[in-house]
């Protein structure tokens, strides 16, 4: 990654306010001299929708901070089926398990075009040794990842399909309530909600007919968040 981009993110220039590194709790407490140590080893990457960040049981060599877009973490079930167990959006971290285990326990793929930074685990380990402030941030970020996973499974795996979809749409529109939401494939939606493809398609159609969702273009919808909140319960 170019040092000028990192420097801009550190200084908080307007163009970099949404940078995942700037917002990331792992680095939120670092000072300028600490931040300087990690400029060069970090790689900035653009990942197209559908592409893989890493696979199940791949060597865990880096953590990934998401700057834009959406990443899905997929659990491969014993029968070969897949279940999306977590979504990582801008400011979040994928692959944080690399700090404590040799391989990744999930596969990670881009649900939407993703901008991210790849941070080698050696960088984080060195900072943890040289910068005591980072240790607490690591623990907080680990707890946050676990909490998000627990909430994700609880909210989106309980209740009927209408409730689950409403909760997901509220989550997707949470950061920018007035902006449209881009849906992903019905297969991915079903894998997130734990319902069939047919149920997913039927529920989306119902939301459109009732005005809860307004289609702006292909897979781009505007949400009635008040109506979704009523459905979500």
What span, in angstroms and rounded, lies between the C-alpha atoms of 187 and 206?
17
State how many domains the chain has. 2
Quote the domain boundaries for residue 64.
22-155
Regarding whether 43 and 105 lie in a shared domain, the answer is: yes
What tokens were used for 216?
């702006």
The answer to whether position 16 is within a domain reads no
The answer to whether position 10 is within a domain reads no
Confidence at residue 13, expressed as pLDDT on a 0 to 100 scale: 34
Question: H-type helices in the chain, by residue range?
Answer: 3-11, 20-23, 32-36, 121-130, 133-156, 161-172, 186-193, 197-209, 225-232
Strand partners, 14: none
What tokens were used for 184?
């992903």
Confidence at residue 155, expressed as pLDDT on a 0 to 100 scale: 81
Are the C-beta atoms of 157 and 165 separated by less than 8 Å? Answer: no
| Tens of pLDDT, residues 186-232 | 888 988 888 889 999 999 999 999 999 999 988 899 999 999 999 99
The answer to whether position 140 is within a domain reads yes
| Tens of pLDDT, residues 88-120 | 888 788 998 898 899 999 999 999 899 888 888
Q: Which pTM does this prediction carry? A: 0.76
Q: Is the pLDDT of residue 17 over 80?
A: no
The answer to whether position 6 is within a domain reads no
From 155, 175, 200, give the residue that closes a domain. Answer: 155
Are the C-beta atoms of 97 and 107 separated by less than 8 Å? Answer: no
Burial degree of 126 (CB within 10 A; 0-12, 13-18, 19+): middle
Q: Is the pLDDT of residue 129 over 70?
A: yes
Regarding whether 200 and 168 lie in a shared domain, the answer is: yes
């Amino acid at each position: 990654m170019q040092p000028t981009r990192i420097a801009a993110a550190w200084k908080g220039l307007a163009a970099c306010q949404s940078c995942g590194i700037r917002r990331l709790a792992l680095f939120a407490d670092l000072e300028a001299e600490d931040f300087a140590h990690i400029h060069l080893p970090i790689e900035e990457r653009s990942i197209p929708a559908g592409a893989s960040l890493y696979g199940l049981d791949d060597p865990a060599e880096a953590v990934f901070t998401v700057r834009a877009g959406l990443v899905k973490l997929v659990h491969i079930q014993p029968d070969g089926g897949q279940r999306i167990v977590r979504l990582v959006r801008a400011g979040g971290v994928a692959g944080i398990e690399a700090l404590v285990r040799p391989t990744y326990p999930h596969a990670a793929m881009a649900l939407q075009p993703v901008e991210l930074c790849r941070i080698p685990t050696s960088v984080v380990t060195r900072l943890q040794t040289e910068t005591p402030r980072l240790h607490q941030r690591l623990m907080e970020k680990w707890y946050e990842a676990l909490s998000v996973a627990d909430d994700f499974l609880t909210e989106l795996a309980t209740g009927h399909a209408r409730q689950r979809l409403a909760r997901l749409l509220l989550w997707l529109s949470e950061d920018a309530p007035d902006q449209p939401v881009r849906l992903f494939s019905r297969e991915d939606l079903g894998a997130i909600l734990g319902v069939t493809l047919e149920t997913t398609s039927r529920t989306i159609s119902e939301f459109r007919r009732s005005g809860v969702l307004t289609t702006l273009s292909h897979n781009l919808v505007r949400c009635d968040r008040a109506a979704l909140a009523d459905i979500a319960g």
